[in-house]
Amino acid sequence: MDRETRRRWALTGLLLAGGLLRLTMIEHARGADSEAGLFPELSRNLLRGGAIVPEPATTPGYGLVLELLGGHVEWVLVLQSSLDLLGVTLLVRFLWRWSGERAGDLALALGALCVFTAAYAATPLPESLSVFAVMLGIWGYGQMMLARAPGWRRLLPVAAAGALAMLLSPDGVLLPAAMVGGILWDGRERWGLGRAVRAAAVAGLLIAGPLLPWAVGNWRTFHATRLLEPSSTIPGHGAETFVLPFAHSGHGFVAIAMGLLGLGYVVAGAMGFVRRLTPFAGWMIGYVVVRCLLAATLERRSIVETTPMLVVGAACWLGGRSSGRWGLRETVQAGESDLAELFAESFPVPERGGLELVKR
């Protein structure tokens, strides 16, 4: 068995192990705080009454997902777990293109076996789909930066990720804000300032489009829109905390192990950013910092959405491939291996005849 065949089997095994981990989490899920009960209620009321949402602090995205799946929470958990693994493959594809084969392989290991995103995927809360939105945004951003001109079709994955994030959570606005800022910063050198400004404006309009019906209905019903209102203001929904499966009383060592594992992700991801090994790190760093600040100042703000950035940073650091000053470097050509070509069938990257980006 040659090296490439062994590698193919190893990565396939990682995906299967990731699927098994998520199924195990679903089987042993402990649940979440009282806020989880809000979303089935929202799904029942979303399309059956005059009000679009029951509370001004709630966005309609997750309730709509439950409504479309008939309110079956089990189906939602399977969907979340599947999208979580799909998002990991998007990160792999992004890093194969921009940071090399080894970094992409490491991202598959770190993402597929991440117990934090797996645990949220097994819980009826919008955080898991928010994590997928971040993964989609990272991949879409990389695809957009491959283009010689930022056409609106190239902006669609970025816009879809931003709109999904905002529909799922009030603080989802952080993702489109970070990506639009990145378009202005990275695009001014790739396409010129004028094209970068136009691309950022079009992306903003595409992102805001799906929010308009909710915003209008929310204003008519409540005469207020408070996007970053702490969820503790929702009647009956206090500040209880989410608990990982298995982390119940008597298993304190599990909590300690999870804490050490989380610290490892944070340190490794930070090293990828600090050592300037991570492509397009500028907007990712901004997103992570602001989200952590929100989590420290507002109740019930999650930081699990920063996991994709930490996975990217950690994979780049462990993979040891430099990407220049905060991002743009010579392109790592797609098709470095047969496995990359398999993923390329699902997530094609247009060939641009040896596209070269200036190393800063």
pLDDT tens track for 226-256: 444 433 333 333 333 344 444 444 455 666 7
Quick check: is 353 in a domain?
Answer: no
The structural domain count of the chain equals 1
Quick check: is 50 in a domain?
Answer: yes
pLDDT number for residue 35: 53
Which region among 83-97, 283-297, 332-346 has the lowest average model confidence (pLDDT)?
332-346
The pTM score is 0.79
CA 103, 20, 308: angle at the middle one, nearest 5? Answer: 35
Quick check: is 356 in a domain?
Answer: no
Is 262's pLDDT higher than 90?
no
Quick check: is 5 in a domain?
Answer: no
SS3 285: helix
Alpha carbons 196 and 81: distance in angstroms, whole number:
35
Is 317's pLDDT higher than 50?
yes
CB contact set of 112 (below 8 Å; sequence gap of 6+): 14, 15, 17, 18, 21, 85, 88
> What mean pLDDT comes out for the span 37-50?
54
Quick check: is 354 in a domain?
Answer: no
The dihedral of CA 274, 279, 283, 289: what is its sign?
negative
H/E stretch holding 206 reads: helix 193-208
Which of 44-58, 193-207, 339-353 reaches the highest mean pLDDT? 193-207
Nearest alpha-carbon partner for 146 in 289, 10, 330: 330
Quick check: is 251 in a domain?
Answer: no
Residue 251 neighbours by CB distance under 10 Å: 11
SS3 annotation, 118-186: HHHHCCCCCHHHHHHHHHHHHHHHHHHCCCCCCCHHHHHHHHHHHHHHHHHCHHHHHHHHHHHHHHHHH
Quick check: is 32 in a domain?
Answer: yes
pLDDT number for residue 93: 95
Quick check: is 36 in a domain?
Answer: yes
Greater model confidence, 169 or 38: 169
Residue owning tokens 């009826």: 124
pLDDT number for residue 219: 66
Q: What is the pLDDT of residues 114-130, one digit of tens each?
A: 998 998 898 888 889 99
Q: Residue 135 belongs to what domain range?
A: 11-236+257-346
Is 82's pLDDT higher than 80?
yes
Q: What is the pLDDT of residues 29-40, one digit of tens each?
A: 655 544 555 565
